[in-house]
Amino acid sequence: MYEKSIMIKAVISGDIVASTSLTGEGRELIEDSLQDLMEELGVKFNTFSRIIKGDYLECVVPDPENALLVAIAIKSFVKSIPVENTSLYKINKRVKLFKTYGIRLAIGYGTLSRFDTEKGIIDGEAIYLSGRKINKFSTYKKERIVIKNTMYFVSNDLYLNETFEPIIGLLDVLINKATSKQCKVLYLKLMNNNEHSIATLLGIKQSVVNQHSTSVGWNAIERTVMYFNALIKKQ
């Protein structure tokens, strides 16, 4: 797909937290998991994604009103990747950082002047905005990692920035406190699975799925996603 005309899109940039502490086995697990995720998002939301150096991703969301949903799906999926095996990390204490935060994400909302999926070209305001935000707070090769926020929305529209900053900040705190099991349920619900099918997929009781859903704050997350969707559609 090649699009030459300037268009409004959302681009999500993200990097795995504490990725430089991963062993070869750990990096392979993360990269394979991200590849699976990108394929699923492509089928569901017609996104185009690429993974760079195994721990950095860029995801174009053609329908920008879906950007927050896709971002939360990425965040919850990454946090659900099983990393109980400490051999995946060179510095075992950093396993906790990954399990808590998983990935840092920035949604860039703006124009794309060039977008060619066959050549892998993504060029324009939206990707510059998201990429700069992530790079500004990069923890790459830092000995001491201090993380305050892991989800951002950035555009050249002051009203949208001021509207979404506190909302996404609250979502960030909510999801960072969630367990890997809660995040797995959240991801599957975002992908439009009902609780009965989730229970079947995970081999657990539906009541347990409902408990995880409630604990992760599904109702609030769903309403926030709908609010974001409606407001972006009005732009």
What pLDDT was estimated at residue 9? 87
Determine which of 58-62, 86-90, 166-170 has the lowest per-residue pLDDT on average. Answer: 86-90
Q: In whole angstroms, what is the distance from residue 178 CA to residue 42 CA?
A: 25
213-235 confidence digits (pLDDT tens): 999 999 999 999 999 999 999 98
Of residues 46 and 83, the one with the higher pLDDT is 46
Average pLDDT over residues 34-63: 93
Q: Residue 137 above 70 pLDDT?
A: no
Q: CB of 146 within 8 A of CB of 98?
A: no
Q: What is the pLDDT of residue 92?
A: 59
- The mean pLDDT value for 139-143 works out to 52
- What's the predicted TM-score (pTM) here? 0.91
pLDDT at 117: 84
Q: Which of 43-47, 108-112, 116-120, 169-173 has the lowest mean pLDDT?
A: 116-120
Quick one: 2-174 is in which CATH superfamily? Reverse transcriptase/Diguanylate cyclase domain (3.30.70.270)
CA distance 19 to 45: 27
Mean pLDDT, rounded, for 33-45: 95
Q: Output the pLDDT for position 88.
A: 60
pLDDT category at 2 given cuts 50, 70, 90 is very low
Burial 134-161 (b: 16+ CB within 10 A, else e): beeeebeeeeeeeeeebbbbbbeeeebe
pLDDT per position as a tens digit, 67-95: 999 999 999 999 998 876 656 656 556 77
* Token output for 153: 């929305």
- How far is it, in rounded angstroms, from Cα 209 to Cα 131? 35
pLDDT digits (tens, 9 = 90+) for 93-103: 677 788 889 89
